[in-house]
Amino acid sequence: MMEEKKQTFDANEAALLVEELNESFRTGKTKSYEWRVSQLKGIEKMVVEREKDICEALYKDLSKPEYEAFISEIAMVKSSCEEALKELKQWMKPEKAKTSMATYPSSAEIVSEPLGAVLVISTWNYPFSLSVKPVIGAITAGNAVVLKPSEIAPATSSLLSKLFEEYLDRSAVRVVEGGVLETTALLDQKWDKIFYTGSPRVGRIVMTAAAKHLTPVVLELGGKCPAVIDSDVDLQVTVRRIIAGKWQLNNGQACISVDYIITTKEFAPKLIDALRKGIEEFFGTDPMESKDISCIVSSNHFSRLESLMDDYKVFNKIVVGGQRNQKKLKIAPTIFLDVPGDSQLMQEEIFGPLLPIITVENVKDSIDLINSKPKPLTAYLFTNNEKLKNNFVQSVSSGGMVINDTVLHVTVSSLPFGGVGESGMGSYHGKFSFDAFSHKKAVLYRSFSGDASVRYPPYTPEKQKL
Ligand code: NAD
């Protein structure tokens, strides 16, 4: 029998917490440049001083190799802090706006103002960076913020709770730990913004709860990210980048990981051969023994992936890998060829080390295939063909897109990161994070001169002639 989880934080406590944060916000302290800087510096200090603890927690939760933890979690947070500290003054400045003849003489500006008390709900696959990066956005924009990390990465969640108390201003920046019950208690409250990272299923729950209070949301969701591989490519580079974008990253447990490949029937055997060799080069002849590959996060997720592999529609389609070990929660990089479109493998986001390859007669057909599915978070294309590149960019709708590489767009903070349609709404990173947590207030300045009577009643025939 499943043990029932005890609720550690209820709606009454959530209401008190929101009230406390709103009170802090009302004092105006979170709005000041100095407060924002002090909190960003606190995060920077926390990351530098506690790097070892963070790596250990990530290893406990995901067996994340230390090097990977550093590049994809710690360095990402550090660089977000550095950028925010460098640019904050500029971001906070009102933006001049053009005025119209109707307001002459006047001036106008767009003032970025904080929203109030905001909620960040995070997920388990990058449990440190996907928790702290949105919090950085909330702080740079001058909000009070509550972070709810994922209970599926418990070591990181508990560490975040401890570190935030130690390094940040608890009157305006807090962590609430817990799972569904605790998140539900938080979602019952009136927030000024909710920033959610996770599955589209829970994204709907979040949006429904937010609608009750007319709370705006950013939903960073997932989906099936396709990679189209043309035959006109540098095959060795392509394969290394596909492997990096699939198995190097958390063993496929990443929202922007390559979910499936589309290539031509003719090119598939050559591609599979190169992928097999590339996997061996990266992870050795027995990838189950490799220390450079993460395990599956939990037994529930392991069972989910096992059932995708054992589906009678696909189990005899494995062309590379297939090994698994339930005790160690390990699954080897596994490639399937020509799985049917109605198999579970092609119906749901895989979020693991399984990689189906779908073949088409002509690479151009891949565009219709992608567009027949919900809009992905990212779409990848490998080709030297300029016409195909242009056509892909113009015709495929996705949150983001990378041509001739995978996943690196997340490192470019001048690009917005977010989904479209089923893969989410809103975006963040760099200045986009500041904007996601700000209200853009339109301010028009007039003087008492230029008060033309033509705009006022009575609407005399003379005035109407003008
Ligand atoms: P999840 O939706 O199960 O959980 C995420 C958060 O939602 C957790 O904090 C959890 O406590 C909370 N939650 C879960 N069920 C809930 C419920 N019924 N009511 C209220 N809150 C609930 O997602 P996950 O399994 O943690 O993450 C996997 C998904 O997240 C994938 O779809 C992946 O693509 C997506 N993802 C997206 C991004 C992105 O940046 N777009 C990044 C990472 C993961």
Distance CA 159, CA 54 (A): 7
Question: Which run of H or E residues covers position 264?
Answer: strand 260-264
Distance CA 138, CA 119 (A): 9
Q: Annotated catalytic, 81?
A: no
- Closest by Cα among 384, 10, 372 to 186: 10
Atom in ligand 1 nearest the alpha carbon of residue 255:
34
pLDDT tens-digit series, residues 118-131? 999 999 999 999 99
pLDDT tens for the 466 residues of the chain, in order: 445 678 899 999 999 999 999 999 999 999 999 999 999 999 999 999 999 999 999 999 998 989 989 999 999 999 999 999 999 999 999 999 999 999 999 999 999 999 999 999 999 999 999 999 999 999 999 999 999 999 999 999 999 999 999 999 999 999 999 999 999 999 999 999 999 999 999 999 999 999 999 999 999 999 999 999 999 999 999 999 999 999 987 899 999 999 999 999 999 999 999 999 999 999 999 999 999 888 999 999 999 999 999 999 998 999 999 999 999 999 999 999 999 999 999 999 999 999 999 999 999 999 999 999 999 999 999 999 999 999 999 999 999 999 999 999 999 999 999 999 999 999 999 999 999 999 999 999 999 998 988 889 999 998 888 7
Q: In a 10 Å sphere around its CB, with 0-12 CB exposed, 13-18 middle and 19+ buried, how is residue 455 labelled?
A: exposed
Residues near ligand 1 with C-beta < 6 Å?
Answer: 121-125, 130, 148, 150-152, 179-180, 183-184, 197-199, 202, 205, 220-222, 255, 349, 351, 377, 419, 424
Q: Which two tokens stand for residue 124?
A: 């388990």
Q: Annotated catalytic, 55?
A: no
Residue pair 227/233 in contact (Cβ under 8 Å)? The answer is: no
Q: 124, 156, 202, 225: which to mutate for ligand 1, most atoms within 8 A of CB?
A: 202
Distance CA 52, CA 396 (A): 42
How far, in Å, is the centroid of ligand 1 from the Cα of 274? 34
Nearest CA to ligand 1 atom 43: 255
Per the confidence metrics, is the pTM higher than 0.90? Answer: yes
How far, in Å, is the centroid of ligand 1 from the Cα of 350? 14
CA distances to 91, 151, 209, 385 from 234, rounded to whole Å, are 41, 42, 48, 12
State phi, psi for 127 to the nearest 5 degrees. -65, -20
User: Which stretches within 420-460 are classed as H helix?
Assistant: 431-436
Q: 123, 135, 257: which to mutate for ligand 1, most atoms within 8 A of CB?
A: 123
